[in-house]
Amino acid sequence: EAGVTQSPRYAVLQEGQAVSFWCDPISGHDTLYWYQQPRDQGPQLLVYFRDEAVIDNSQLPSDRFSAVRPKGTNSTLKIQSAKQGDTATYLCASSQLGGLSYEQYFGPGTRLTVL
């Protein structure tokens, strides 16, 4: 069974540039999560979807971050006008049946550096 895949694996930007991250969850998983993991910190939930619906995006900096999952499968996280403080690894995870008490399967992450 293929795991969660993410691309790109690395991105380096200047401040003010935009970037998109792509995630392909495990087939059949209805719930998809995006996390931000700053260096030396634990993952912090940004947003999660059940099918195509946003369940919780309260931690997403809405002025510059956006996330979509239009068909309830793949998802894209976009940062407009990146800042140095956005430097982190962005992790995508998926799970079956929804809910936060179920095991989440993580992708390898995208390591973003904003100069």
By CB under 8 A, residue 108 contacts other proteins:
yes
Our finding on whether 8 is near other proteins (CB under 8 A) is no
Residues 6+ apart with CB under 8 A from 55: 31, 48, 49, 98
Yes or no: say if 33 and 105 are a contact pair by the CB < 8 Å rule: no
Is there binding between residue 104 and other proteins (CB under 8 A)? yes
- Report the amino acid identity of residue 97: L
One residue of 107, 110, 112, 114 binding other proteins per CB under 8 A: 107
Q: How far is the CB of 38 from other proteins (least distance, A)?
A: 10
Calculate the dihedral angle through the C-alpha atoms of 87, 64, 54, 105, rounding to the nearest 10 degrees. Answer: -10
Q: Is 30 in the site for other proteins (CB under 8 A)?
A: no
Stretch that binds other proteins, among 17-25, 63-71, 74-82, 94-102 (CB under 8 A): 94-102
Give whole-number Cα distances, 72 to 14, 29, 48, 51, 115, in Å: 32, 9, 11, 4, 33
Using the minimum distance from each CB to other proteins, give the nearer residue, 16 or 38. Answer: 38
Interface with other proteins (CB under 8 A): 3-4, 35, 40-45, 56, 91, 99-101, 103-109
